[in-house]
Amino acid sequence: MSKVAIAQVQSSTDKKLNLRSALALIRAARSSGAELIAFPEFLMAFSPGSQSAEELTQIAETTDGPFVAALRAAAKAAGIAVLATIYETFAGANRVFDSAVWIDAHGNVPSVYRKLHLYDAFGFKESDKFHPGTDVAPLVQLGEIRFGTMICYDLRFPEMARLLALQGANVLAAPSGWVQGELKVDHWQTMIKARALENGCFVVAPDQVGNIYIGHSMIVDPLGRTLIDLGEKEGLEVIELDLDLVRETRAKLPLLENRRTDVYAQHATAKLP
Q: Which of the residues 15, 129, 152, 237 is marked catalytic?
A: 152
- In angstroms, the CA 230 to CA 59 distance is 29
- Classify 212 as helix, strand or coil: coil
CA-to-CA distance for 238 and 263, rounded, in angstroms? Answer: 42
Residue 128 vs residues 43, 135, 251: alpha-carbon distances, Å: 20, 20, 44
111 by Cβ neighbours in 10 Å (0-12 / 13-18 / 19+) ranks as: middle
Helix (H) or strand (E) holding 161: helix 158-166
> Quick check: is 252 catalytic?
no
Active site annotation includes 152: yes
182 flagged as catalytic: no
C-alpha distances out from residue 251 to 41, 160, 246, Å: 33, 22, 9
Cα atoms found within 13 Å of the Cα of residue 32, Cβ hemisphere only? 20
Rounded distance, CA 4 to CA 204, Å?
9
Query: Which among 15, 35, 88, 115 is annotated as catalytic?
Result: 115
Query: Would the CA dihedral through 262, 263, 266, 267 be positive or negative?
Result: negative
Which residue among the candidates 35, 41, 126, 237 is catalytic per the annotation?
Answer: 41
Rounded to whole angstroms, how far apart are CA atoms 154 and 162? Answer: 12
Q: Among all residues, which ones are annotated catalytic? A: 41, 115, 152
